[in-house]
Structure formats: structure tokens, C-alpha cells
Structure 1
């Protein structure tokens, strides 16, 4: 776990962790992602959840492909967010195959919505949350758009939130704002840490 980040700004931390993650070798990303996915697959919350929201990785984020395919095999409902840059909102959609995705905003794969209705957020039991970094209290450093915070604002009672990260993305403390949400656990290649 990285040490205390001091008084660094969120922007300088974003640059630092983005650069560090972008330097990862593709083989390291693949192997480390597979270890993290194994921890998630054996997690009781994942095993007992019928509906989960995932992210689709880009730029060396932890790759959840194997978990998504396992969820489909287990007949779980896989929910993927579609972003709306105009109002900075994420809208969840149920997908059943890779064919239901297209490159969307920011170059990230997103659901082809066509005539689909958004998935009811109160039916999502587990959300796997990406981040550039997480701290010991579960607060995350995202890309700065506030999409996840605004998404979580819509809940009366939050689903279970698991941050997904490489071990080097864990730090003692991150700067935070009043509107920031924390996750319940963080899963890395070393295991899952309940907070």
C-alpha cells in the first residue's frame, strides 16, 4: 500500500496514478486482472448476487472480462453503465452479450441502447467500482467527472460497493469532498479488504 499522499491535489494524484497504470505491461495487466477476478469470483457477495453492475476496462484498468463471462454463465444479470456527457450522468443497462456493446463516450465500451429501457437501479445488488486509487477508508479517486458519485446520489440505500484496483493503487489517505462516496471493500491481486 502506498504511503500517505500528503497535501497533493486530486489533479496531481490523477496524473500520478494514470501514468503509473499506463506504464503497466499488458502481460502484467492480464495476469494481475485474472488474480483479482478470482478473488471476486470466490467472494460471497458476488456468489449471492443475482444482479451486478460492472465497468468495462480501458487504459490498463483491471479487466473484468472473465468475471462478466462467469456472471453470464451463472445467469446473473450484468448491468453496464452508459455515460451522458451532457448531464454527467450514468444510466445502467442490462446486457447479455458482448454484441450489445459499442464504443461510446471517452472510448469506453457502452451498451447499445436502441429501444432498451434503463435498468432499475434499486435492483442492482453489487457494483464493481473502478478507480485510479482508493484509500484505507474506501474513498476513491476517479477521473474527475463525478459520474459514480452522481449515480450513487440516486439511491436511498446503496448496493454493496467493491472497489477494484491493483495493489499499488491503495493509499493511506486521499483528499475528498463532501459528495464523495466510499466503497465497502477493495479487491486487489492480494485479496479483498473489508473496510
Structure 2
């Protein structure tokens, strides 16, 4: 049986390969496009999203693009809790 460390290393290699293949980027674009064309999103004035990290649907361009016309809200860790904050690229710290 494989050790936890070995399994994690193997999964990291698979993730790296997946990320480098361009499939993840294509899937992110497809998902964001579907979201943007949905009537609920189109009619929304306020949208809760997240700041993506590696391996997640890429939301960076999405947040940037829509923050001009919608209130884009993102969660922020504050100690032991989460706060909801308006996305502002100038204040991402």
C-alpha cells in the first residue's frame, strides 16, 4: 500500500500535468462563460465569488471584468472567521 506522502506526490504530478495541458484553462473559460450567460447572473447587481487558487476555476479575470458594473463580493479570512468584502483590486491584502 502507498504511503500518504507518495500518494500526495503522485497527485501533485498529475495536477501539474493537467494544469500544463491547458485543459484546466479551457474548462475555466467554459464554466465562467456559462455563468456569465445565465439570466440570474445577468440580472444580479451583487455577486458572491472567490479568489481562485491553483487547481480551481480561475476567477481572477471574471472578478476584474465584472467589478466595474456589479458589486463583486469575496470572502476574506479575519482571524478565526470569514468576512465578506467588496472586491477591490487595489486592496487585495
Q: Which TM-score applies when normalising by structure 2?
A: 0.71
Provide the aligned length of Structure 1 versus Structure 2: 82
The Cα RMSD (Å) is 2.3
Counterpart of 1:93 in structure 2 is 85
Shift of 1:25: 1.9
CA distance in 1, matches of 2:46, 2:28: 21
CA distance in 1, matches of 2:57, 2:92: 19
Give the number of the structure with larger relative contact order, counting CA–CA contacts within 8 Å between residues 6 or more apart. 1
Structure 2 gap ranges (5+): 1-6
CA distance in 2, matches of 1:22, 1:99: 31
For the Cα contact (< 8 Å) 2:44–2:70, is it kept in 1? yes
For the Cα contact (< 8 Å) 1:34–1:66, is it kept in 2? no
Q: Which TM-score applies when normalising by structure 1?
A: 0.37
Higher strand share: 1
Counterpart of 2:70 in structure 1 is 76
Higher helix share: 2
| Aligned partner (choices 40, 53, 63) of residue 58 of structure 1 | 53
Structure 1 gap ranges (5+): 1-14, 103-195
CA distance in 1, matches of 2:28, 2:66: 16
For the Cα contact (< 8 Å) 1:22–1:59, is it kept in 2? no
Shift of 1:37: 0.6
